[in-house]
Structure formats: structure tokens, C-alpha cells
Structure 1
Amino acid sequence: MPESNKRDRSCIGILFSLGLTALFMWLSLRPSKPTLSIEQFYVPALNKTAISNLSATIPPVNTTVAFHLKLRNENKDKGVYYDALNITLYYGPNHSVVGNLTLDSFYQGHKKTAHRMEGLKAKGRAFWENATKAVSEQNSTVFRVGLWTAVRYKILGIKTKRHRFRLVVDVEVNAEGAWPKKKGVKFHSRAAAQAGYPARLGVPLAMLVLVLVW
């Protein structure tokens, strides 16, 4: 075999190995999104078992909506810096805003779970009229919880740029004014616009590997 062909094959092999190494590095550096869920949800003013006539006082004396928010970082070696978490409570077919709450920013280590027991005041006479009527007549109703935030991942001691998340989840409450299931319900993406080192690096590396293989 000519010496030039051997050199060509050797170069191709080295380039291919470098391309695969770069791809594997990108895959190992790319973080997984944190998992957020509502584990418990309770509206005391919609508890039929405790209040015989839900519509007796509109709006009710206690307008609190309490919930248990769970945040899980599944990454094995990547921490998560959360910006302030902006939570909005919606109700009705038009998803009218009935309450807001902002939680402070914080850092979460790898493979860690954070729990936030929070509550907000739900406002709006029309909302309370409709919600109490739904529970009185149908023994259930549905709220929507929206959560907007941004996170930065800590990878090898370096912070990425912000990854912005707009999440929502629909939560049913029963005749006791509570989420009826033992297992929580996960937020899903409403419109997530992510930008950062791993996302930008992925396409060039993938193209490099394809070129080398070709």
C-alpha cells in the first residue's frame, strides 16, 4: 500500500476519534432540565366537608391557596442556580389571573430536591363565585398554575448563560378543596427559550462528526 494512503487513513482515523470525543464531551456537559411539580394543593374556602354552604360569603374570609412545590435537579454533577420564581394562579376557560407570588432565587446542588410550602391570596369576586359554584355542583374544579423563571447550570465550576422557562400545570381540586391524588403533577413547558454554551455547541459538534464520518 502506498505510503500516502497510509498517512491519509491515519489522519482520517485521528480526525474521526477527535470528532467522537468532542461529541461525547458535549453529551456529558449538556445538562438535564430540573423537574418541577405540584405535590399538594389546597383551597380551604372550597372544602365542602368543612363548609356547608360555600357560597354563603363571597369572597370568603379565607382566600388562601396553599401548595407544595417540588424542584428536583437530576443532574449527577451539575448544580442549578434558579432566578426568582414567578408563580401565577389562573382560573376559568380564559385563564384569568387570580393570584401571584414570587419566590426568592436559590442554588440547588446536583441530585438534590427542594421543597417549598407556599400560599397566596386569590382575588376576584367573579372567580370565587364560579369556583364555589363548580365545587358545589360538580364536586371539583380546575386551576392552572404558571411558573416563569430562568436557571443557570454550574458545569465544571463555570456558570452557563440563562435558560428561560415558562411552565404551566393544571391542578384539579375535589370536594375537599384539595388535589385528590397522592402523586404530584409535573409542570410542562409553555414556551421555553433556552440559550447557553451546551445548546450552542451541540450543532457545530454534530456537524463536525457528520463531516468526518462522510
Structure 2
Amino acid sequence: MAAESESCWSCCFSFILSMGFTAFFIWLSLRVTEPKCYLESIYVPALNKSFNSPHNSTLLFNLKLVNPNKDKGVKYDAVNLHFRIFNDSNTTRPLANATVDRFYQGHQKTAHKSGNIIVTGGGGGGNVTAVVNGKVYFRVEFDTTVKYKILVFYTKHHSLWGGANVEINNSSGLKVYGKPLRLGNSLPRIVSGASKLRRGYRALWGFLVNVLVVLHVLT
């Protein structure tokens, strides 16, 4: 009797363990990682002083979309891009919109999409040379919906969106930093590096004052 009971418990434990492993592997197979969108390059001819064409309203861009999933494809709907220019540290003005046609991306693949648009702008026309603290900043945002392909099946639609602030060289018209810029969750706001430095000095000065007070009390 005891042997039968022990055998029953062993079978139950094996069944539960196998079901647990099965559920875990199913979860792994269904888990997805969002694709990442990068702004590889942007070129504003109106800012290129070599050409001396400040009224050129063309804007050229290159995107990089990365699918990090090892065994899942991604089917993109149209990728909508929105280009804006900063009027000051906190406000932007629309310049133009662009659309990348829908496409399919295999697992662990990288897609490069390029385009050019004519800047129409909002209340400032097609002006793309607005300066904030001696620099030109653009805001680039994207949004789309995707479906993930698992084996031969597609999931429901998932929304993707993001954006980044881009400093443009006002002599060449190119992005200041050469590396691809992730269009992630950064806020549409220009943060001054000088103000960060001043805050750092204030914090250091406050720390030194506190140390001097403690030393004075101890002595």
C-alpha cells in the first residue's frame, strides 16, 4: 500500500513538473521584444553653408529598424514620422511628416529606410534654421503598429512609438553626433549642459560647507 502511494505521489510530481516546464517553454516562445527604431542620419541642406541655400526646404533622413527577436518576425504597418523644430527650450513647431510603407522584417534582421520630404511647417513656414542658444534642434518622432509572426501565426496588433531630440550642425546640416540615435522615450525638451554643470558645482559647494561645519563643531 505504501509503495502504491509513493508511486502515485511520484507520478503526480512528475506530471506537475513536466506541465511546469511545458508552460515555461510556451511562455518563452510567446514572449516578444519590441523592435527598436533609430535615426541613422538626417540632412538639412538649408543649414549647409557650403551651398548657401538657406531657403532650401528639403529634408533627407535615414532610419534603422532592428528586430532583436531570435525566432519571431515583425510585420510593420506604415511607419509615421513627424519632424519638428525647437523654437525655444520647451516648445516645438511642426515642419513635416513622412511615411515609410509597411513591410515585413525577419527575425534578428535590420532594415534601413530612407526618404526625403519637403518642409511645409506650421506658423513659421518652412523655416528650418531656427536657433536656440546658438544651436539648431529638431524633434523626430515615430509611431506605428506591428504584428509578430510566431511560426506561421501572427499576433494581434501592438502599438510602437518614440522620439528623440536631435542637434543639427548649423554649418553642415548634418546630425551632430554620428552614431544612430534611438527614437525612445526622451521628452521634447532641451536640457542645457551648462545648467547641469552649475547644479553640480552647487551640490559640491554645499557638501564642502557641510564638511567645514562638522569639522568646526568637532574641534
Kindly provide the amino acid, as one letter, of the partner of residue 113 in structure 2.
Answer: R
Aligned length, in residue pairs: 180
91, 95, 107: which one aligns with 2:85: 91
Runs of 4+ that moved beyond 4 A: none
Q: Which residue of 2 aligns with 1:182?
A: 178
**Equivalence map 1:1-150=2 (5 Å):** 2=2, 3-51=4-52, 54=54, 60=55, 62-92=56-86, 93-124=90-121, 126=124, 131-134=128-131, 138=134, 140-150=135-145
How far apart, CA to CA, are the structure 1 residues paired with 2:109 and 2:43? Answer: 25
Q: Secondary structure at the match of 1:126?
A: coil
How far apart, CA to CA, are the structure 1 residues paired with 2:129 and 2:141? Answer: 22
| TM-score where L is the length of structure 1 | 0.74
How far apart, CA to CA, are the structure 2 residues paired with 1:43 and 1:19? Answer: 56
Change (3 A) 1:133 1:171: closer
Give the number of the structure whose alpha-carbon radius of gyration is greater.
2
RMSD: 2.4
Q: Secondary structure at the match of 1:165?
A: strand
1:145: how far off?
Answer: 0.9
| TM-score where L is the length of structure 2 | 0.73
In the TM superposition, what whole-angstrom CA distance separates every residue of 1:104-158 from its partner, at most 9, and x where no partner exists?
11111122221111112222362655x52518x72x3211111110000110110
1:182: how far off?
Answer: 2.5
Q: Unaligned regions of 5+ residues in structure 2, if any?
A: 187-219
In the TM superposition, what whole-angstrom CA distance separates every residue of 1:53-80 from its partner, at most 9, and x where no partner exists?
x5xxxxx1x2111111111222222111
Q: Unaligned regions of 5+ residues in structure 1, if any?
A: 55-59, 191-214
In the TM superposition, what whole-angstrom CA distance separates every residue of 1:150-204 from its partner, at most 9, and x where no partner exists?
00011011011011112112211112111122211111148xxxxxxxxxxxxxx
Q: Secondary structure at the match of 2:83?
A: strand
Q: Which residue of 2 aligns with 1:154?
A: 149
Kindly provide the amino acid, as one letter, of the partner of residue 156 in structure 2.
Answer: K
Q: Is the 8 A contact 1:77 1:110 kept in 2?
A: yes
Q: Is the 8 A contact 1:73 1:110 kept in 2?
A: yes
Q: Is the 8 A contact 1:165 1:189 kept in 2?
A: no
Q: Secondary structure at the match of 1:168?
A: strand
How far apart, CA to CA, are the structure 1 residues paired with 2:130 and 2:105? Answer: 41
